[in-house]
């Protein structure tokens, strides 16, 4: 099957089954991806850095182990977001400051994926330092939405989502602070899961007690996303937040668990939402009723989300990039400079207020899940917008005050530490995908995934990806 591009149409779980039966090899998978990437990436720019030679070396080492003992991924290739270090592979963080950076050591998470039989073959595109939900940068340019290449793929895991949607990946690693997994999943018609903080071990970075920014899995289906989640999960003494592996999330998906009572909110009480997006998501949420779930309209009080997120995000950017601002401000995009400066300008009173408000929001969300198994809402407030617009400036008559405020429906959930998944749930009248956000109590990824799989079956959208890029 070497070079068989048709292999890339298959679900990741099916390909892993083939690998575990010896019917294909990791090299066959790499040949198929390389052929597919050569055909389609010129139209979408999702995987700007390829490392197939390194991947084949890794695959040959893996193939020295007996079939069936090659880890959970068994030789399945995985692209890594260009914010995450891979040893010996150009890693730019989407910034011209690091345009020629080649790390000597991989991030802990990459080492975990490789230990579970994942073969790294590419870096996926991201905006500079992951800032802004539109994947463009001055190193590689913009990543385009394959449903309409005039539109944004969102971000910051835009390259990962587009690689999935076009058959250049079976699963993909991303990350999420203000929706960076959920936004591109919604825009591109794939699945993106923001897990609970600590679910994976990863290099801590400047702020070791981080709760906002997490890495996570993406896939074309819920099962495929759970497969990668299992391969990423685990603890390390080098990451003080990391949690031990306690369950199989793929088994949770297949457990048959169904929620008894869920809440739907079109706006969480904090943001405008495009009426068509709200209608699509409401209709999808209502279909939980077909499996016996009670669906009600409700949401917790998240009214402090805007101020709290701005302060906490500003602190994170200041801690991570203040030194670069002093030496390389001229090389950074204005939104990043603004975020760092905002962070440096906050007072101790601002930080105390934000921490207190975040704690209050967490407590309310946790109490909310005493009544409801899940909270449902749109993953994003709009469908894909023109790629030339740096961010969404207006929605349903409301003008946003900055470049991240339009992401509130995602970042409000981030602040509560709840796991959240974007599931394809329908299309706008002009064919743009829309994602439903499924949220549960902290550390309840198994419930999120099981419920998402149940709804995926009810919605029966079919294998909507992979697709060939469509221009306009």
Structure tokens at 212: 């906002």
The answer to whether 288 and 295 have CB atoms below 8 angstroms apart is: yes
81 noted as active-site residue: yes
Of 81, 123, 215, 333, which one is the catalytic site residue?
A: 81
Residues 362 and 356: their CA atoms lie apart, in Å, by 10
Beta-carbon contacts of residue 390 (< 8 Å; ≥ 6 apart): 132, 134, 136, 335, 403
Residue linked to tokens 């944004």:
152
Q: Under DSSP, is residue 354 helix (H, G, I), strand (E, B) or coil?
A: helix
Of 156, 157, 186, 418, which one is the catalytic site residue?
A: 156
Beta-carbon contacts of residue 371 (< 8 Å; ≥ 6 apart): 261, 263
CA angle 298, 448, 237 (to 5 degrees): 120
The answer to whether 119 and 55 have CB atoms below 8 angstroms apart is: yes
Residue linked to tokens 């974007």:
422
In 11-126, beta strands by DSSP E: 49-50, 77-81, 119-124
Can you name the residues that pair with 234 across neighbouring β-strands? 200
The verdict on whether omega for the bond into residue 320 sits within 30 degrees of 0, i.e. cis, is no
The answer to whether 153 and 184 have CB atoms below 8 angstroms apart is: yes
Of 152, 157, 175, 180, which one is the catalytic site residue?
A: 180
Please report, for residues 26, 190, 373, the alpha-carbon distance to residue 251 in angstroms, rounded to integers and kept in the order given: 24, 20, 19
Beta-carbon contacts of residue 472 (< 8 Å; ≥ 6 apart): 148, 149, 150
180 noted as active-site residue: yes
347 noted as active-site residue: no
Alpha carbons within 13 angstroms on the beta-carbon side of residue 249 total 31
Q: Under DSSP, is residue 239 helix (H, G, I), strand (E, B) or coil?
A: strand
Q: Which residues are catalytic?
A: 81, 156, 180
């Amino acid at each position: 099957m070497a070079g068989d591009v048709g292999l890339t149409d298959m679900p990741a779980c099916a390909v892993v089954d083939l690998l575990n039966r010896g019917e294909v090899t990791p090299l066959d998978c790499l040949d198929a991806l390389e052929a597919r990437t050569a055909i389609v990436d010129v139209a979408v720019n999702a995987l700007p850095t390829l490392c197939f030679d390194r991947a084949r070396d890794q695959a040959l080492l893996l193939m020295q182990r007996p079939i069936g003992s090659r880890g959970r991924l068994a030789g399945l290739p995985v692209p890594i977001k260009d914010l995450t270090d891979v040893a010996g592979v150009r890693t730019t963080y989407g910034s011209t400051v690091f345009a020629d950076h080649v790390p000597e050591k991989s991030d802990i998470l990459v080492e975990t994926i490789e230990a579970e039989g994942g073969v790294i073959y590419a870096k996926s595109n991201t905006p500079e330092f992951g800032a802004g939900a539109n994947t463009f940068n001055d190193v590689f340019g913009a990543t385009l939405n394959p449903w309409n290449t005039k539109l944004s793929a969102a971000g910051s895991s835009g390259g990962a989502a587009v690689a999935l949607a076009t058959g250049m990946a079976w699963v993909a690693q991303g990350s999420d602070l203000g929706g960076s997994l959920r936004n591109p999943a919604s825009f591109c018609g794939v699945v993106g899961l923001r897990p609970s903080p600590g679910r994976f071990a990863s290099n801590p970075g400047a702020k070791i007690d981080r709760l906002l920014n997490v890495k996570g899995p993406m896939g074309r289906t819920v099962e495929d996303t759970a497969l990668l989640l299992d391969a990423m999960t685990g603890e390390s003494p080098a990451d003080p937040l990391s949690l031990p592996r306690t369950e199989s999330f793929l088994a949770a998906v297949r457990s048959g668990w169904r929620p008894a009572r869920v809440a739907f909110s079109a706006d969480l009480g904090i943001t405008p939402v495009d009426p068509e997006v709200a209608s699509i998501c409401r209709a999808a949420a209502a279909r939980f009723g077909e499996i016996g779930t009670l669906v009600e309209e409700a949401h917790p009080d998240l009214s402090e989300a805007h101020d709290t997120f701005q302060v906490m995000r500003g602190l994170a950017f200041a801690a991570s990039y203040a030194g670069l601002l002093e030496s390389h401000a001229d090389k950074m995009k204005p939104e990043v400079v603004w975020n760092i400066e905002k962070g440096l300008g906050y007072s101790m009173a601002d930080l105390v207020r934000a921490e207190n408000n975040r704690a209050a929001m967490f407590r309310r969300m946790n109490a909310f899940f005493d009544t409801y198994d899940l909270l449902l809402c749109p993953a994003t407030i709009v469908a894909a917008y023109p790629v030339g617009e740096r961010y969404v400036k207006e929605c349903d008559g409301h003008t946003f005050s900055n470049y991240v405020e339009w992401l509130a429906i995602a970042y409000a959930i981030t602040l509560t530490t709840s796991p959240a998944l974007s599931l394809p749930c329908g299309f706008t009248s002009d064919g743009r995908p829309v994602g439903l956000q499924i949220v549960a109590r902290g550390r309840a990824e198994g419930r999120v995934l099981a419920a998402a799989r149940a709804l995926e079956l009810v919605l029966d959208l079919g294998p909507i990806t992979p697709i060939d890029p469509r221009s306009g």
